[in-house]
Chains A and B, each alone.
Chain A
Amino acid sequence: MALLKSTVVKSGVMLIELNRPEKRNALNNATLIELSELLQKLDIDPHVRSVVITGNLQCFAAGADLNELAALDVVSIQQDPRPKLWKKIDEFSKPLIMAVNGFAFGAGFELALHGDIVLTGENAQFALPEIGLGMLPGAGGTQRLARLVGQQLAMRWAMTGERVTAQTALQYGISSQVCPTALTVEYAIELAEKIARQAPLAIAVIKQSLKSIHEVTLSQGLKQERQHFVWLAATQDRQEGIKAFFEKRQPEFRGV
């Protein structure tokens, strides 16, 4: 059985479903390899404008594959391909929306944190249970989470492995919407489609600009934002957008 299912669900929208239900979608190396390779392909596919990643109704992804982890000693961990795979996922340049139902634990939580926008079902539960195994989150869990929710909650959750409900996740900015569980994927696709209809070049620099906030100072960030702004002035989509506004019609963006 394929580890991932990918389907074009709406014009420009690709849905990727993690598909190891018997392992609660545990993110083993094979899954991560497939996911990162797929995203690399989609990144250069002009027909794909936005991507939704989801698991199933009960489980987004319940963590890494413990059997694989257990087999690693300190030497093989040095050569572990996973950091590179995560980096590839992080480098995906198009809008990435996470539709999280059920458990998003450990690596599953960290995968969700790679999303540009996260929607959850009301049954979603996040946790970093690594501490219970004498480990720490190893795919950005401590870093991305602390940047979202602040040091206090990130410390607490990483040190206890406590479960975080959908409502709490919404409250602290881990997600932007809680949906009835049966509608999460649908609403994520709707959102992805809305974004897919926008000017792709503008979307690309918005993502770049927002993702850089933790890398650069405010003044650098403002300078870059200005550069993006000037650069977009050279695009036809910008002209189309303004023209359509004055002509009171829907713009037709072509990504040029």
Chain B
Amino acid sequence: MDYQTIIAEEKNAVGYLTFNRPKQLNSFNEMMHKEVSSVLKTWAKDSNIRTVVISAEGRGFCAGQDLGDRVVDPHADAPDLGLSIETYYNPLIKLITEMPKPVICAVNGVAAGAGANIALACDIVIAAKSASFIQAFCRLGLVPDSGGTWFLPRLVGRAQAMGLAMLGDKIAAEQAVELGMIWQCVEDDQLKAEAEKMAEHLAKQPTFGLSLIKKAIHAAADNNLDDQLILERDLQRLAGRSSDYKEGVQAFMQKRTPEFKGC
């Protein structure tokens, strides 16, 4: 399918979603929301796609909301910012966090506002050395959205989350790794290759099992230990019935490399 604001490619069981409004630093407008959501929904259901990579064209990753879309006339009534969050950003974050397969984010440049938080919603974030993260919301009198206030304290702890959200400082990729905000930081010219390597590796792993890991770790944020132990029992029960589990055990016994099918 042809898209105007994104590029969607499928290769070796990996779905590559690339934001493609480089002149606007890949900020979101309505069309981009619709295209992104349509692609992610398709891949969520497509068992041939076993890993998703989100990245962007140009020097930036994503500058969040395209403010050109939100004309603020000082004399008009206050806009309803909740509406676009309810309609677009919240469903997008849920699409990423509920995607039953790994979602890698390759952050190639500045990730600001909702753009930063979309990256943080992904399962594994790799950033180029020159990339940066900014919780720019506070500078406009706004609140970090797209899950920012939920992800940040869980990733970096409350003290760092408060500092990041209230000061809105730019955090370099290396510092983001030190803070525990993202998984890895690589040389700029290595980003694409590293993300692809990781994606192709994950796309050969037990996808169903990985989806259960993702589910468990997300649930842990709300569960107490007792509930989480019960959930682990349930998920392990399901995982143990997968054909990948059988294959994994057999391959181990036969001292060969397992061939996982993802189910």
Contacts and interface: CB of A to CB of B under 8 A. Distances in A.
Interface of A: 179-180, 182-183
Interface SS, B side: helix
Interface string B202-240: 000000000000000000000000000001001101100
A256 B235 CA distance: 41
B104 to A, nearest CB: 25
Interface string B222-263: 000000000100110110000000000000000000000000
Contacts of A183: 234, 237-238
Nearest to A187: B234
Contacts of B234: 179-180, 183
A179 B234 CA distance: 8
9 contacts: A179-B234, A180-B231, A180-B234, A180-B235, A180-B238, A182-B238, A183-B234, A183-B237, A183-B238
Please provide the 9 A-B residue pairs with the shortest distance between their CB atoms, ordered closest to farther.
A180-B234, A183-B234, A182-B238, A180-B238, A180-B235, A183-B237, A179-B234, A183-B238, A180-B231
Given A180-B234, A180-B238, A182-B238, 6 more contacts: A179-B234, A180-B231, A180-B235, A183-B234, A183-B237, A183-B238
B221 to A, nearest CB: 14
A185 B76 CA distance: 55
Nearest to B212: A180
Contacts of B238: 180, 182-183
A174 B237 CA distance: 26
A171 B234 CA distance: 20
A182 B231 CA distance: 13
Contacts of A179: 234
Max chain B C-beta neighbours (<10 A), residue from A179, A180, A182 = A180
